[in-house]
Amino acid sequence: MDFIAASEQRIREIFGEEFSKFLKASSLLKEGSQKKYLSVKELSAYLRLSVPSIYKKVADDEIPHHTINARILFEQSEIDQWIAQK
């Protein structure tokens, strides 16, 4: 593990920048621009593919997905882009 020396002022600047990003993201979520995520079952219905087919595509890393706490989720906009590329 590498350690980086930084002054107190620089640490405050970094924290401020990151906090600003967080606030901006939070305000975007409040405005209704929240990303739409689909479960495996929802994606199965959306794509009209079987659930095992979806799991196979995930296992083969053929489809964009996110694993959060051992749960597989699909961002709908990424799926739409993936479909457009096919």
Which pLDDT score is estimated for 33?
Answer: 52
Q: Say whether pLDDT at 15 is over 60.
A: yes
The residue with tokens 């096919």 is 86
Give the closest residue to 78 by CA, choosing from 43, 50, 49. Answer: 43
**Tokens 């479960």 found at:** 39
Per-domain boundaries in the chain: 37-85
User: Would you place residue 14 in the very low, low, confident or very high pLDDT band (cuts 50, 70, 90)?
Assistant: confident
Question: What digits encode the pLDDT tens for the residues 17-64?
Answer: 877 766 666 554 455 556 789 999 999 999 999 999 999 999 999 999
CATH number of 37-85: 1.10.10
